[in-house]
Structure 1
């Protein structure tokens, strides 16, 4: 009888020891601690912004969290440059070209204050205002202004050192591919980093600085 009690005692958790036999740190959940083996649960936290958090479960499966939403800051350089050119044309009495350049500058100035590129976990979407309202259908090709990264064929910046336009081609709108051009009225570096992270590298070299 005494030897049987001793055998049972060998596998019971001790209040003074953390490791007894095959039982590792077993404590009641009433004290706020979960039953776990520290060697079976590992957390890998990537330091790069927007990376995924992966947790290896007790059965070796991976659970991936959603990526953080990225919204590049507005950048007023292009409309300011256009309005500056307009002022120079007016000063030199070149009213003909000054009018369209000035109108374009004013349009981009307004759009910079209201249009936002929103990079969520699975798609790029164009939204409007600080409240991020829906932008409606695309006036040129139809459909919602939201495109999944998985449908991107390619994308590019023109020109890298002072980005003016961003181009991308996707197969979501139509199977043969739909091309889109947008003026870069956002922070070029933030926009480039978000495109690389979510849509992959472009076919040509990207900007060094912007």
Structure 2
């Protein structure tokens, strides 16, 4: 009995532990579990009756496995810009029509190829359906991949018709680096995954399209 109490005390006193059992088992309190992870902190590795224990659980908090999320493309902004350019041409305002039309064409092209990939740890910009690397950031340098843990602020403008997404991170430089991207993705999906991975924003969620 004393040995059992001592073993339990050692297990609970370890602040960082992940418990993973690769077979199904029954619990009178929680029902059936299968290959679940719970967070407590550091890692250990032992076997108890064929069940591997690897430990990593924060007490009082269950950690969910995050899936990779890629918001769907949204063509509304380039279509609006191209429509505006067409209207300007129709009214013989050719000078402003040219840059507006070119911007619309650029965003239309980017919408077909640029992907925001939210993996379990970071946001990364990738290219095409094959999710190819996007290379170095042309404005600030470094890879177009930023860990959620480095985000210190983000906003979505404007919620009802999102046009720009802004975020600031400390991965590129310690004092913080600002990024702006046109919202050429589904705004609702983008907002939801940003809230989940980077925490809440001051803006409200965009309306369903």
Matched, 1:38 2:36: no
* 1:196–1:176 distance in 2 versus 1, CA, 3 Å: same
Instruction: Name the CA distance, whole Å, in 2 between partners of 1:94 and 1:178.
Output: 38
SS in 2 for 1:190: helix
Q: Which has the higher Rg, Structure 1 or Structure 2?
A: 1
Matched, 1:139 2:105: no
Residue 203 of structure 2 corresponds to 205
Mind listing any 5+ residue stretches in structure 2 that lack a counterpart?
1-22, 40-50, 58-62
Q: How many residues align?
A: 169
Instruction: Name the CA distance, whole Å, in 1 between partners of 2:24 and 2:96.
Output: 74
Residue 24 of structure 1 corresponds to none
* 1:118–1:35 distance in 2 versus 1, CA, 3 Å: closer
Instruction: Name the CA distance, whole Å, in 1 between partners of 2:161 and 2:133.
Output: 29
Residue 22 of structure 1 corresponds to none
Contact 1:158-1:165 within 8 A present in 2 as well: yes
Residue 69 of structure 1 corresponds to 68
How far does residue 55 in structure 1 lie from its aligned partner after superposition? Answer: 5.0
Matched, 1:106 2:121: no
Matched, 1:126 2:125: yes
Mind listing any 5+ residue stretches in structure 1 that lack a counterpart?
1-33, 46-52
Contact 1:41-1:58 within 8 A present in 2 as well: no
| TM-score, with structure 1 as normaliser | 0.73
Instruction: Name the CA distance, whole Å, in 1 between partners of 2:95 and 2:32.
Output: 63
RMSD: 2.7
| TM-score, with structure 2 as normaliser | 0.73
